[in-house]
Amino acid sequence: MPVYALYWLSRGFVNRAYWDRFGQRFGFGYPEIESGSIWIHAVSVGEVQAAVPLIRALMRRYPERTMLVTTVTPTGAARVATVFGDSVRHSYIPFETPNAVRSFFAATKPDIALIMETEIWPNLYHACGARGIPLVLVSARISPKSVDRYRKLLPLFRETLSYGIVIAAQSETDAERFLSLGAPPERTRVTGNIKFDIELDPDLAARGRALREDMLGSRPVWVAASTHNREEELVLAAHRRIRETHSDTLLVLVPRHPERFDAVRQLLEREQLPWIARTDGRPAAPDTAVLLGDTMGEVPLFYSAADVAFVGGTLVPVGGHNLLEPAALGRPVVTGPHLFNTQEIADLFRRMGALELVHDDVELASAVTALLDDEAKAARMGEAGRRIVLDNRGALARLLDLVAPLVPEKRVTGTA
């Protein structure tokens, strides 16, 4: 715990948001909920965004319940606040100390827990089992890399999975990986990936057009979103190559983590590319080469305004991020080879001709240039991706059917 505390404190020197409600990490200051909350945990921005349709569906189905959303990162917390305001309660998830876990459950009183994807918290899960609280892993997945890691801790992992957890796996492959680690077959189901049930703002397309007209102009635009350290250098090298033949092309560069905005600003200064930041509030000049997306929650807007989308975390071994957002908007998608966090979706996209896979800055420049030059190809790829999203919807409905029998009758407190 001292190590965790020092780590979180040190991150706060870079991003003060990490000091927000610091005590909640260690057992203090949780929201007091009268009884019977529905608890949804989503680690960060991507998981929160994927959980939005689920949370809204639960709010409609169980209007008498308090929705509690926990995150690990302050960026996830900010996204919860932006989307839901005061209609849900938010807390940071407690670290795995007995006091913090006890305090969390005493304050929030969940009747059921829904954990997005594969967040493994053994003490929290044990606490759910000890209290008879149903726990569902939503759109659960395990990458091949994670399977090898979990096997090294197999006794702990098997014990964690023994606490009555229901696993709603993304795919048959994910279900088989959970079973190989000791998950009970009778509580392992394949419901699909609720990310396909993505909800886009109805006015997103109109706002994207307005952003393009007001800030970007009538030039070719590509976006590199959710990028990571050492990946921005490759993206900027590709952009230089693109501008050798398409000198008016604009790159919208959106780092994954806001604490890295300053580092990327410094990189742009070193690269001596004309750039502006989204927070500058002024339109790109004719010679502007890069718009730095230094805001939170606007990645879908940037996708909507662009001609081509590169999804980051893929030219470096991070494992990739959400391919479905740009696809749902009909944008052609380009990624690097490191896709282990989203491998099955990426494979489907490639089979259906909705994804260009590149390995370095040279191939990235070539792929983006080709799509900017061939509008018909870009449209075909974009439509293929949009069709994949539409054809794979339904996981949310299957998940809600799975969850319904697990939600107990609302307990009534107090006296008449």
DSSP H helical ranges for 188-298: 204-211, 231-245, 261-271
> CA-to-CA distance for 399 and 410, rounded, in angstroms?
20
Q: Report the C-alpha dihedral over residues 267, 74, 198, 216, rounded to 10 degrees.
A: -30
257: its two tokens: 């983590």
> CA-to-CA distance for 217 and 203, rounded, in angstroms?
20
What number of other Cβ atoms are within 10 A of residue 207's Cβ? Answer: 15
17: its two tokens: 């948001």
Amino acid at 50: A
Contact between residue 68 and residue 89 where contact means Cβ atoms under 8 Å apart:
yes
> CA-to-CA distance for 198 and 196, rounded, in angstroms?
5
Residue 14: alpha-carbon gap to chain centroid: 22
Contact between residue 338 and residue 317 where contact means Cβ atoms under 8 Å apart:
yes
Contact between residue 299 and residue 253 where contact means Cβ atoms under 8 Å apart:
no
DSSP codes, 79-141: HHHHHHGGGSEEEEPPPS-HHHHHHHHHHH-EEEEEEES----HHHHHHHHHHT--EEEEEE-
Buried b / exposed e across 13-35, counting CB within 10 Å, b at 16+? eebebbeebeebbbbeebeebee
Contact between residue 72 and residue 43 where contact means Cβ atoms under 8 Å apart:
yes
Residue 172: alpha-carbon gap to chain centroid: 22
Instruction: Please give the positions annotated as active site.
Output: 47
Does residue 37 sit in helix, strand or coil? Answer: strand
Rounded to the nearest 5°, which phi and psi values hold at 302? -65, -40
